[in-house]
Structure 1
């Protein structure tokens, strides 16, 4: 991740850790299509107020007792704590984040949860501080799109997974060619969908996962966003262009052979 963009991401999320805001300033809820069940927020107490994602990767991952889970860009820790409950007995959940303020918030939420099979790590998703073949499942919630080196992120996810391990991510994707978006529209949309940087095209996501060595790759759209409600698209022309190359939240699945 470039130093300038990385600094912007860190600064933004440091502020969100203190305000419990959304990375997309209230827009994420429209992309999730619900995301969590009514019961799940109650499982993690105050951590539920700090969810900054675009879906529910924990449900996507179908976790089992004894598994080891890693959440890339874990933020306030809701998905780590939900995972930790689902892998008991015998399992463990790691959260990885580069922001000190988010890590402090996650530790606070962990303490309040009473869970002991949780560990939060400081680091970047392009360089995961875990050994090879260490985890059964990699999850992430609207974070991969923030990286400017997505092939490295996916390669690292593949490295730390055990053979047969699962990649189960909620993310934002473009449903078409971003090159079809004029630069002025692409900048506005990417600031919204990526919260800073921008999303991959759906087909590009598949290609990069296959290139990283994954198999059984799929990208399932869960909620396409209405161009008429995207902040920053101010003209009918801009909205029409975005309708032709829309963004959506998606479940991204893959497996390490």
Structure 2
């Protein structure tokens, strides 16, 4: 999607997920029809992505909108007292789960560029009395977070939406403490996407057309300074990705993956 301006992409993504927030979170997972008729409950979709029934039952009503492509919590190994940053926090689902893990001595920060999502998450946090969670409006390419203040960065199917992924990883490196870690679920490409797919804005905002090749993700992480990089595609995810755009062959090109990396101690 090189011919499209970065701001045009950001605006399309912001509008798409603003509609999702205002709709109450129509539960169809990711994909270009997120605001259409729900095909399954958010709880069912989340369990299909790797969350447990206990996870989906533990978050406040409205936080889980059935979005995402995996469960970053499963690889984050969060500890009491840690500072966690969620890139593209949406309604706060992963933030509220992380809050249980880090406890009152920890902190969870959610960053999202969609005002409607931030407003929704803040209301839920206030009603639920989540004193260790806060939500900040901002772009993940320009994080409103101080240098070297975060222990763990999580994200669920958001970085693929950025038109400047190298900037995202560089910002992640900046805000992590020495020894801090990335624990991300995202969509990556295992084959070069056809130009027609890359130019399809509906497929871009649906978390597919913006996917980078695995080798590109690894290279961007290395350039940003990360070590111990591990990108692990989940072949079983092709089944739900196929449902995101059933009239296309998108599952022949992209897959959900876990992405892990470390900011080496210095």
Q: How many residues end up aligned between the 2 structures?
A: 247
- Mark the CA change 1:2 to 1:32 in structure 2 (over 3 Å): closer, same or farther: farther
Aligned to 2:49: 34
The superposition leaves residues 26-56 of structure 1 with CA deviations (integer Å, 9 ceiling, x where unpaired) of 6998898432111001111214432421111
- Mark the CA change 1:57 to 1:229 in structure 2 (over 3 Å): closer, same or farther: closer
**Structure 1 unaligned regions, length at least 5:** none
- Mark the CA change 1:125 to 1:42 in structure 2 (over 3 Å): closer, same or farther: same
**Structure 2 unaligned regions, length at least 5:** none
Aligned to 2:16: 12
Would you say 1:213 and 2:225 are equivalent positions? Answer: yes
Would you say 1:148 and 2:160 are equivalent positions? Answer: no
SS at match of 2:184: strand
Would you say 1:225 and 2:233 are equivalent positions? Answer: no
- Mark the CA change 1:193 to 1:5 in structure 2 (over 3 Å): closer, same or farther: closer
RMSD: 2.6
- Asked whether the 8 Å contact 1:32–1:55 carries over to 2, the reply is no
The superposition leaves residues 188-236 of structure 1 with CA deviations (integer Å, 9 ceiling, x where unpaired) of 59816853751111111111111100001001122341586562645xx
Structure 1 position 133, deviation (Å)? 0.4
Aligned to 1:95: 110
- Mark the CA change 1:228 to 1:154 in structure 2 (over 3 Å): closer, same or farther: closer
Distance (Å, rounded) in 1 between the aligned partners of 2:214 and 2:201: 16
SS at match of 2:61: helix
- Asked whether the 8 Å contact 2:95–2:110 carries over to 1, the reply is yes
SS at match of 1:104: helix
- Asked whether the 8 Å contact 2:12–2:205 carries over to 1, the reply is no
Structure 1 position 100, deviation (Å)? 1.1
TM-score, normalising length: structure 1 = 0.86
Aligned to 1:54: 69
- Mark the CA change 1:155 to 1:173 in structure 2 (over 3 Å): closer, same or farther: same
Distance (Å, rounded) in 2 between the aligned partners of 1:119 and 1:247: 33
- Asked whether the 8 Å contact 1:75–1:106 carries over to 2, the reply is yes
SS at match of 2:144: coil
- Asked whether the 8 Å contact 1:138–1:168 carries over to 2, the reply is yes
Greater alpha carbon shift after TM alignment, 216-225 vs 150-159: 216-225
The superposition leaves residues 53-86 of structure 1 with CA deviations (integer Å, 9 ceiling, x where unpaired) of 1111122201000000000010000001111111
SS at match of 2:143: coil
Distance (Å, rounded) in 1 between the aligned partners of 2:77 and 2:12: 33
Would you say 1:204 and 2:219 are equivalent positions? Answer: no
- Mark the CA change 1:255 to 1:205 in structure 2 (over 3 Å): closer, same or farther: same
Distance (Å, rounded) in 2 between the aligned partners of 1:184 and 1:32: 32
SS at match of 2:262: strand
Partner residue of 2:256 out of 231, 236, 249: 249
